[in-house]
Homo-oligomer: A and B are copies of this chain.
Amino acid sequence: MNTQAILLSDTEIELLQKEVGKKSLMGQTIESSCNELDRFIELPLEVPGHGEAGGYEHNRHKQNYTYMNLAGRLFLVTGNQVYGQFVRDLLKLYADKYLGFDFHVQKNTNPTGRLFHQILNEHCWLMFTSLAYSCVAHTMTEEEQEHIKTLLFEPMLNMFTVKYAHDFDRIHNHGIWAVAAVGICGLAIGKREYLDMSVYGLDNNNTGGFLAQISQLFAPSGYYMEGPYYHRYAIRPTCVFAEVIHRHMPEIDIYNYKDKVIGNTIQAMLATAYPNGEFPALNDASRTMSITDMGVQVAVSVYSKHYGLDDNILGMAKIQDAVWINACGLELSNAYENAVKQRDIGLPFWPSVELNEGPQGQNGAQGFLRMQDKSGDVSQLVMNYGQHGMGHGNFDTLGITFFNRGQEVLREYGFCRWVNVEPKFGGRYLDENKSYARQTIAHNIVTVDEKCQNDFNVERADSVHGLPHFFSGDDSQLIGMSAFALDHYPDCDMQRSVFMLKLSDFDTPLMVDLYRIQSESEHLYDYSHQYEGQLVRTNFSYSTFSELEPLGRENGYQHLWKVAQGALGNSALVSWLQNNTYYTWVGTSSNKNDDIIFTRTGANDPSFNLRSEPAFTLRSVESLACLRQC
């Protein structure tokens, strides 16, 4: 069988060949990819046995598929025979060994693979290596092809669609990887039935498969409920498989499917990013994931080709400094090359946007306010008043983050895991993710009675959501958003309204934060602020403690050292220095006898899993109304 590369026509290959050695985004991407690949190819081939999640074996399998995926395309684009040989040899080695590996021992609820501890990773493996195979298969003998098919690809397809059939049709980000892998592999080895199965579901009745998934996973706004971090993970197979369907099942008209859901959700994902391209760590997410991630590169390239280009998309490409090596990326690369000849492409400036949540957009929203100061710097204010993000959800409805001058100022801790740090539980989620990072007190928000919202009950949290009150992001002088959380604490109705004001006396926008809490009974309120840097000044006196104790016993409080405390007068001023910028907070409440407590994470942390970070909390008894200025 004379297989053609699934995502590259002969004409496209010729066009890409012309980019080699050029200074275009595509030329640079090809060059840096070749350099990276060359270093990996120097190592001896290795197909290791079972290992820990995040351990050496796990990472080696991941590197193997990553570099086969690159090598397949670069073989066609550069004509370097070594790249083709690398894919053929390594696939053969996998085929020699694959059925000799038993399934991993199951350690959590995810089904296990033969290479990885969970099939999610084996899906990734299959998607990327199938694409690679399709690039080199025409250089293999019939016999060589059969070897790979019968001992490797077909057993995998069988595992995913028969042994784990119950998992294949699940509407979930893992499901997108599953169908993309199976569909693409089917196409690569000439078994189109797997492509059909992947697009329409095992039962061909729209309860599973790619079309069902993209119809149900995203809100009308395009927002993905697990947040940008998981969105950018899911967007890669979404875009890759969409492009495959576009080419091999044109009758579906995938890029117009469901009111352009693919383009819509790419836009929504990009619209969440901070001005420097990093994603706010909504839900338990990495603090360092940015639009330079490969998944987002693929998405931006796909968007450029199929939904059109503007200076924001070109600005994204500028930050990414790379494109997807295929026809979509080439379109973007050419457009960028032409644009920079005519004008300066600056950093992207996305408008303020409210992204609704839920299948019909009825479950609250995530708000993203942006304001540009005279110097061009963009301040961004993010508030969560939408859904709980399922198993990855933080208990932080009405929580905010604030970004200014290239840094997150009111900060999100992010997840408690050390990705790729093998001694830290294989890079997986640590206990402190639940005991601290997802707790209400870890956020920029009011915690009531030292408890977590919804009592840290995921099902309860999934059943409620925030209520949008208003969102006004267009004005040049005053923008704001407001929302309610009525179901998150017993006997407490909460409303938060946050604004950015452009005032002539201020170089940067003034942020105003109004918090209204109504309750029939007396409560303890902790209105906390996660900052970074050095405390510079307060307008009240405080005492630091000569010995440190945890602030509380549970709900995240057990992880906070109580470092200092002071009583405020009518209002409290706290100023700090973060890198080269001063920030000043002025706060007050409608109660008497409020305190400010300064804390630092690290208590009850027996394995140094937490980062040591400061925060301060306005602690108030009874009802509270706060005015905050940043």
Q: Which 4 A-B pairs have the closest CB atoms?
A: A548-B548, A535-B608, A423-B537, A544-B606
Asked if A418 meets B577 with Cβ closer than 8 Å, knowing A606-B543, A608-B535, A614-B612, the reply is yes
* Complex interface: chain B residues within 8 A of A561 (CB): 548
Question: Is A547 positioned at the interface, with any CB of B under 8 Å from its CB?
Answer: yes
* Complex interface: chain B residues within 8 A of A421 (CB): 536, 577
Cross-interface CB contact of A418 among B534, B605, B611, B614, cutoff 8 Å: B534
Q: Are A534 and B606 in contact (CB under 8 A)?
A: no
Question: Is A276 positioned at the interface, with any CB of B under 8 Å from its CB?
Answer: no
Q: Given the complex of chains A and B, what is the CA–CA distance between A550 and B548 in angstroms?
A: 9
Question: Is A185 positioned at the interface, with any CB of B under 8 Å from its CB?
Answer: no
Residues 503-536 of A, flagged 1 when their CB comes within 8 A of B and 0 if not, give 0000000000000000000000000000000111
Residues 418-440 of A, flagged 1 when their CB comes within 8 A of B and 0 if not, give 10010110000000000000000
Question: Is A109 positioned at the interface, with any CB of B under 8 Å from its CB?
Answer: no
Question: Is A227 positioned at the interface, with any CB of B under 8 Å from its CB?
Answer: no
Asked if A575 meets B612 with Cβ closer than 8 Å, knowing A544-B606, A546-B604, A561-B548, the reply is no
Q: Given the complex of chains A and B, what is the CA–CA distance between A547 and B550 in angstroms?
A: 7
* Complex interface: chain B residues within 8 A of A604 (CB): 544, 546
Q: Given the complex of chains A and B, what is the CA–CA distance between A536 and B612 in angstroms?
A: 14
Q: Given the complex of chains A and B, what is the CA–CA distance between A547 and B600 in angstroms?
A: 13
- The contact sample of 6 A-B pairs, CB cut-off 8 A, is A423-B536, A534-B608, A535-B608, A543-B606, A546-B604, A548-B561
Shortest CB distance A534–B (Å): 7
* Complex interface: chain B residues within 8 A of A602 (CB): 563, 600
Tell me if A's interface is mostly helix, strand, loop or mixed.
strand
Q: Given the complex of chains A and B, what is the CA–CA distance between A95 and B463 in angstroms?
A: 74
Residues 552-577 of A, flagged 1 when their CB comes within 8 A of B and 0 if not, give 00000000010110000000000101
Q: Given the complex of chains A and B, what is the CA–CA distance between A602 and B537 in angstroms?
A: 16
User: Which A residues have a C-beta under 8 Å from some C-beta of B?
Assistant: 418, 421, 423-424, 534-537, 543-544, 546-550, 561, 563-564, 575, 577, 598, 600, 602-606, 608, 611-612, 614
* Complex interface: chain B residues within 8 A of A564 (CB): 608
Q: Given the complex of chains A and B, what is the CA–CA distance between A546 and B562 in angstroms?
A: 12
Q: Given the complex of chains A and B, what is the CA–CA distance between A550 and B543 in angstroms?
A: 16
Shortest CB distance A24–B (Å): 21
Closest residue of B by beta carbon distance from A549: B547
Cross-interface CB contact of A605 among B544, B605, B608, cutoff 8 Å: B544
Shortest CB distance A90–B (Å): 24
| New A-B pairs, 4, CB < 8 Å, besides A543-B606, A547-B547 | A534-B608, A535-B608, A544-B608, A547-B549
Of the candidates A546, A548, A561, A600, the one having the most CB atoms from chain B within 10 angstroms of its own CB is: A548
Q: Given the complex of chains A and B, what is the CA–CA distance between A404 and B580 in angstroms?
A: 25
Q: Given the complex of chains A and B, what is the CA–CA distance between A535 and B608 in angstroms?
A: 6
Shortest CB distance A256–B (Å): 42
Q: Given the complex of chains A and B, what is the CA–CA distance between A546 and B561 in angstroms?
A: 10
* Complex interface: chain B residues within 8 A of A418 (CB): 534, 536, 577
Q: Are A547 and B544 in contact (CB under 8 A)?
A: no
Closest residue of B by beta carbon distance from A575: B423
Q: Are B424 and A536 in contact (CB under 8 A)?
A: yes
Closest residue of B by beta carbon distance from A603: B546
Of the candidates A418, A534, A549, A550, the one having the most CB atoms from chain B within 10 angstroms of its own CB is: A534
Q: Given the complex of chains A and B, what is the CA–CA distance between A91 and B418 in angstroms?
A: 58
Q: Given the complex of chains A and B, what is the CA–CA distance between A51 and B362 in angstroms?
A: 59
* Complex interface: chain B residues within 8 A of A544 (CB): 604-606, 608
* Complex interface: chain B residues within 8 A of A598 (CB): 608
* Complex interface: chain B residues within 8 A of A537 (CB): 423
Q: Given the complex of chains A and B, what is the CA–CA distance between A577 and B423 in angstroms?
A: 11
Of the candidates A549, A561, A575, the one having the most CB atoms from chain B within 10 angstroms of its own CB is: A561
Shortest CB distance A404–B (Å): 19
